[in-house]
């Protein structure tokens, strides 16, 4: 756990102001291990090296999210990514070099496969995306102590049958498994059911589930408010490898609780920005 993570800093500020109850609530976030999102910025490689070394000193594995695929998020709130395919692969190799022989867990490119299947990419870019994902997976798996999970969306997005082929083209055979519910709110039980169906079609592949914000499950309705900063949500099960299911390698906090999903409502912070009020609501169970 990073002692300088946003929730820990926020809790310290509130304690200094005498706001002990909010500080104690947000401390629930501060004390749990969370993934570091790597978005291709110049500091990402150094951040990787520092984070994985600190985690190893504490007897833990660093947790990371690769999030810099070209045309990332298809012009939505988290749009961006590497400007070229070669630049992306160079960056992945640099990140891998920063890991060395330290233990680490990587979630590879949230939404990248499902968005390609959903049709938001030009047709001539879909095969390139699958190739880049496959090369990213294989690059990371060359490292002796790294576990790699290719993102496979969530239980409410696409039928499992629609993403089996794309996951195979994107290198799932070389990965340790797939990741579900990253930055989403589907329940753990729904995610397990979906994951088991997908695993059956992928030769028994294991998976991990992001439980950072699924304590109250998804909100009712549809549209952007169904997945982008919905009110009334709550923290989910804290990170653990004791999942009670042989196919589920871990429940992890991949999306940082309290980080905005994007400017989908008036006054919402940009995607990835720390949002104290939303963090506090999550920690208080949506209240």
List active site positions. Answer: 73, 111, 261
- What CA–CA distance (Å, rounded) separates 149 from 65? 10
Residue with tokens 């976030």: 29
What span, in angstroms and rounded, lies between the C-alpha atoms of 194 and 154? 8
d(CA 194, CA 216): 18
Which residue in the block uniquely carries the two structure tokens 């009712």?
220
Cα angle for residues 55, 91, 122 (degrees, 5° grid): 125
What SS3 class is residue 183?
coil
Distance CA 166, CA 277 (A): 38
């Amino acid at each position: 756990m990073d002692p300088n993570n946003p929730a820990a800093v926020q809790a310290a500020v509130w304690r200094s102001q005498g706001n002990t109850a909010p500080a104690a609530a947000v401390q629930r976030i501060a004390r749990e291990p969370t993934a570091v999102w790597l978005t291709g910025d110049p500091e990402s490689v150094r951040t990787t090296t520092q984070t994985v070394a600190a985690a190893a000193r504490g007897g833990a594995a660093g947790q990371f999210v690769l999030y810099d695929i070209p045309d990332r998020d298809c012009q939505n709130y988290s749009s961006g990514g590497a400007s070229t395919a070669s630049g992306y692969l160079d960056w992945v190799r640099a990140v891998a070099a920063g890991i060395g022989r330290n233990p680490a867990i990587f979630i590879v490119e949230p939404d990248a496969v499902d968005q390609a299947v959903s049709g938001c990419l030009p047709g001539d870019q879909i095969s390139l995306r699958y190739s880049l994902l496959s090369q990213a997976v294989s690059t990371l798996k060359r490292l002796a102590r790294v576990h790699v999970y290719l993102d496979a969306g969530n239980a409410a997005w696409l039928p499992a049958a629609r993403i089996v082929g794309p996951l195979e083209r994107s290198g799932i055979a070389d990965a340790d498994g797939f990741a579900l519910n990253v930055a989403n709110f589907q329940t753990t039980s729904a995610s397990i059911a979906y994951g088991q169906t997908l695993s059956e079609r992928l030769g028994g592949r294991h998976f991990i589930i992001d439980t950072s914000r699924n304590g109250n499950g998804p909100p009712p309705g549809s549209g952007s408010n169904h997945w982008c900063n919905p009110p009334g949500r709550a923290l989910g099960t804290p990170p653990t490898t004791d999942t009670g299911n042989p196919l589920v390698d871990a429940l992890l906090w991949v999306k940082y609780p309290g980080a905005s999903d994007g400017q989908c409502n008036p006054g919402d912070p940009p995607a990835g920005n720390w949002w104290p009020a939303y963090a506090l609501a999550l920690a208080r169970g949506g209240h």
